[in-house]
Amino acid sequence: MTAIDDRVIGIFENLEVPEGYKAELIRGEIVMMAGPDMVHNVIVSAIQHQAPYTRWRALQTQDLIIPSEASEPQPDLVVFERGAVPEAGRLLTASAVTLVVEVVSKTSVYRDYRTKREMYAQGGISVYLIVDPIKAVCVLLTEPSLSGASGLPDYLSERTSKFGDPVPLDLLGITLDTSEFQAYA
């Protein structure tokens, strides 16, 4: 990382985020977002409660570190196997994560579909689930690769399902029930 990156990381780590907001470090830029909509929160809660608790940790507001990226994203949900990492500290290494979930908002469309897709593939996260209440679809991305069709990190497999259709999350050993998912008003 460059000295500029180190300064940005220092600022980010000491940033006092106002109540009701969330901040992420995305490729060297500090991105601040307003708190999520109720539709968003219900979706995240529904997914979190379907992860088998005896084997998996499903956490909200967990910062990730992705090697070779000047980024510390905070996905809407991260799922990792119990015992895979020490359960202390602010940063979770992306390679320890099995599933990452982002629920799209009107201001996060590009970041969730493009920027974070590349970042999570770069980090080797096995499964990236994009839940889009704007289009009422789930996009399941698997098989991360450091060089996709565009030459950038990407996922080789993509499956889109409508809200209400089941989404198989094979690595977690479950089929996600999306019947509670709603589109934004």
Q: Please compute Rg for the chain using Cα positions.
A: 16
| Domain-wise residue ranges, the chain | 38-176
Instruction: Report pLDDT for 25.
Output: 73
Tens of pLDDT, residues 68-127: 877 889 999 999 999 988 878 889 999 999 999 999 998 899 999 999 999 999 999 999
Cβ-proximal residues to 64 (8 Å cutoff; 6+ apart), any chain: 71, 72, 73, 74, 75, 78, 91, 92, 93, 94, 97, 100, 123
pTM of the complete model: 0.85
Q: Would you state the CATH architecture of domain 38-176?
A: Alpha-Beta Complex (3.90)
Query: Is 35:156 a contact under the CB 8 Å cutoff?
Result: no
Q: Name the nearest CA neighbour of 27 among 73, 61, 60.
A: 73
Tens of pLDDT, residues 63-76: 999 878 778 899 99
* Strand 127-132 versus strand 99-103 pairing type: parallel
The end-to-end CA distance of the chain, in Å, is 42
Q: Name the nearest CA neighbour of 112 among 79, 83, 137, 86.
A: 137
Does residue 55 register a pLDDT over 50? yes
